Amino acid sequence: MLEKMEILHVEKVIEEFETMTKDTENVQRETLKKILEENGSAEYLQNLGLNGRTDPQSFKACVPVVTHQDLDPYIQRIVDGASSPILTGKPITTISLSSGTTQGRPKFVPFNDELMETTLQIFRTSYAFRNREFPVKNGKALQFIYSSKQSRTKGGLFAGTATTNVFRNSQFKKAMKAMQSQCCSPDEVIFGPDFRQSLYCHLLCGLIFREEIQLVSSTFAHSIVHAFRTLEQVWEELCVDIREGILTSRITFPSVRSAMAKLLKPNPELADLIRRKISGLSNWYGLIPELFPNVKYIYGIMTGSMEHYLKKLRHYAGDVPLISADYGSSEGWIGANINPNVPTESTTYAVLPNIGYFEFIPLKENVEEQVHDRGDANILSMEPKPVSLTEVKIGEEYEVIVTSFAGLYRYRLGDVVKVMGFHNSTPELKFICRRNLMLTVNIDKNTEKDLQQAVEEAAKLIAEEKQEVIDFSSHVDMWTDPGHYVIFWEISGEVSDEVLKECCNCLDRSFVDAGYVSSRKVNAIGPLELRILRRGTFQKVLDHYLGLGAAVSQFKTPRCVGPTNYKVLQILCDNVFKTYFSTAF
């Protein structure tokens, strides 16, 4: 009976999504109206002269497009405890902290009940489409999720990472239970104060419940890869724990030890089985299905900066499908993955038109058409006019603008997306990169995506020697004359100098931006520099961010380290042991 009810629930969610996306324009109009009615008393909107109007035309005429820097003074007053309605009609009681890996420091972002509800709607929607393709029935999930502590701001508000605010919300647990995605680890592990100890216990719980595990997930692909790299190192210790039924002394927190003691009983047969399974593997290929024979899929955000980890994740996964999770940020959600059976690199996200009001800045605008329409030749120096959700065009790239229920109005998210098609009348977006992550010295403009493609091309050379790029970052060195690109690599093992020199040349050649190529040819940009890092360097970078209060669930390796992110740059530079300069030009 439960199974039948679950199927009906899934179909109902899909039906509601289909109905809503057939009327995207009206749903967007009603969503904006609801946001402005709920928050009309907010000081920010009052000062802009909307005077109770809720139509899109008035909204766009009165409310400017802003960045986080523009709203920061208002958010800071909320953080400091101002009781009057500043950005929202109802008081903000919780603040989310962004990961901080993009700009080097976390941002404060308002979080409220409405934002939590949009989170759950995204989860329900993608689950419904996912479960139709890959049904999960009465199983458990091995979820590498970690919740850092919530603190109190000066004004008494709860503050934590966006994932922490979600994981600690009672509605989240109810939703996960309804989606039959119950984590195999107890709460004490998820909310443990030390992520390394939590990770070890997650792995141990997964092995204890290995037959029941039907999906493996984490917020980001990086966390899943990191977990199984750790398993390679600690599997024998895990087997000892299982054999003897006694938890290793490396777990020191009483609450975690007590929770694990309830699950851990002596089981020599299981320990022997795990040992045989792992010993029979060739270079850890297919580790996940070998240990968890009933796993249906692996789930987490795998697009954007996470694409680098796909090769390693596929190695661990064997033939188990990889499914990229939904598209959002600390500021709010945008779209759900409703096509879970497509290749991960082709993942698109269908925008849910009722979870926020969305606009898009065109990145390739027909300027002559705008000049003709407006009769204004000065348009050449202006930024393109934002378009609505239903006005975007297939094949074009845009920067996303969000208006949320949590007090962000016409907020530039900084994400670049490409419209790949439409589902009914709502666009399906492919995440491309962060717009402000840019390698530039002269007239060159290379994005995070350009960097990733260059690394992938050069990494093929060390793959021939059975080695891999564990992780990478970059920096623009302007202390030299001329300035030049610096690429940091941490690699898995020994590679000859000859091959690494060619990797350096390949990196340099792989940046095909016209401004870069022409500048290199006339020496307006110096030879690219490849710096090889000691093993464990990016672990030190992760530790640095965790020390600042970041959660491993939200961690993204900074792909371009600017001079303001001095501490991370210092960690990278202090751990260089080989350096190569390109001779490609």
Q: Which among 320, 336, 368 is the end of a domain?
A: 320
- Residue 348 to residue 302: CA distance in whole angstroms: 11
- Cβ distance 200 to 146 under 8 Å? no
Decide if 489 is inside a domain.
yes
Other CB atoms within a 10 A radius of the CB of residue 239 amount to 19
- Residue 405 to residue 39: CA distance in whole angstroms: 8
Q: Which two tokens stand for residue 207?
A: 């092995």
Q: Could you tell me if 144 and 290 lie in one domain?
A: yes
Decide if 302 is inside a domain.
yes
Quote the pTM value: 0.80
Rounded (10°) angle between helices 268-279 and 195-208: 100
Please give the DSSP secondary-structure letter assigned to residue 89. S
Decide if 403 is inside a domain.
no
Please give the DSSP secondary-structure letter assigned to residue 51. T
552: containing domain: 448-581
Q: How far apart are the first and last CA of the chain?
A: 69
Nearest to 300 by CA among 228, 192, 359, 235: 228
CB neighbour burial string for 284-323, b if at least 16 within 10 angstroms, e if fewer: bebbbbbbbeebbbbbbbbbbbbbbbbebbebbbeebbbb
38-51 per-position pLDDT tens digit: 888 888 988 888 88
157-189 per-position pLDDT tens digit: 766 666 666 766 666 666 655 554 578 888 889
Quick one: residue 52, left, alpha or beta (phi over 0 = left, psi -120 to 50 = alpha)?
left
Lowest mean pLDDT among 113-127, 242-256, 348-362, 384-398: 113-127
Q: Could you tell me if 142 and 289 lie in one domain?
A: yes
What is the domain count for the chain?
A: 2
Q: Which among 299, 320, 341 is the end of a domain?
A: 320
- Cβ distance 94 to 159 under 8 Å? yes
Decide if 481 is inside a domain.
yes
Phi then psi for 580, rounded to 5 degrees? -135, 145
Decide if 352 is inside a domain.
no
pLDDT of residue 178: 55
Name the strand (E) or helix (H) holding 268.
helix 268-279
Q: What is the DSSP string of 388-432?
A: ETTT--TT-EEEEEEE-TTS--SEEEEEEEEEEEEETTEEEEEEE
Q: Could you tell me if 316 and 454 lie in one domain?
A: no
Q: Could you tell me if 140 and 281 lie in one domain?
A: yes
Residue % of the chain over a pLDDT of 70: 87
Mean pLDDT of 293-298: 94
47-77 per-position pLDDT tens digit: 888 888 889 999 999 999 999 889 888 888 8
pLDDT class for 371, splitting at 50, 70, 90? very low
- Residue 292 to residue 285: CA distance in whole angstroms: 13
Q: Which among 264, 289, 320 is the end of a domain?
A: 320
Name the strand (E) or helix (H) holding 489.
strand 484-491
Mean pLDDT of 282-298: 94
Decide if 30 is inside a domain.
no
CB neighbour burial string for 176-203, b if at least 16 within 10 angstroms, e if fewer: beebbbbbbbbebbbbbeebebbbbbbb
- Residue 127 to residue 141: CA distance in whole angstroms: 13
Decide if 9 is inside a domain.
no
Decide if 515 is inside a domain.
yes
Is residue 409 predicted with pLDDT exceeding 90?
A: yes
Name the more confident of 556 and 455.
455
- Cβ distance 356 to 122 under 8 Å? no
Q: Could you tell me if 146 and 286 lie in one domain?
A: yes
Express the helix, strand and coil content of the chain in percent, nearest 5 each: 45, 20, 35
What strand order describes the sheet that includes 213-220? Answer: 140-143, 213-220, 297-301, 322-324
Q: Which two tokens stand for residue 487?
A: 């690429």
pLDDT class for 380, splitting at 50, 70, 90? very low
Is residue 120 predicted with pLDDT exceeding 50?
A: yes
